[in-house]
Amino acid sequence: MVTDAPFEIAFDRATSFAGRRPQLPLVLCGPRSVDPLFALHGTLGAALARTGFARVSRRFTPHMTLLYDTRRLAPCSVEPVTWTAREFVLIHSRIGLTQHIPLGRWSLER
């Protein structure tokens, strides 16, 4: 039910997300090229709503978690990390257990 073209993602900032100490996530994020992620999020939410799931309405912060640490890193610029998203994966994250179980995988193509 979801069709979208592959798109580029670029993160150009490193920072710590707020969290419960001592596990502060150190992430890459940034405003560059994240609009397609928001569009895909909206498309996925609409497709899920059509099949009876609750409508996804909350915004999210596109990011890549690198590690968890006790120290907090203030936002800083980094050399952009870029790649092309060619698929999306439904993952069951077992919160607090650092277990991530892939449930399905779909290609991005039009």
DSSP, collapsed to helix, strand or coil, labels residue 96 as: coil
What pLDDT is stored for residue 29 in this prediction? 93
Q: What percent of the chain has pLDDT over 70?
A: 95
Instruction: Please state, in angstroms and as integers, the Cα–Cα distance from residue 77 to each residue in 30, 55, 84, following that order.
Output: 9, 35, 21
At residue 108, does pLDDT exceed 80?
Answer: yes
**DSSP, res 109:** -
At residue 30, does pLDDT exceed 80?
Answer: yes
At residue 17, does pLDDT exceed 80?
Answer: yes
At residue 57, does pLDDT exceed 80?
Answer: no
DSSP, collapsed to helix, strand or coil, labels residue 76 as: strand
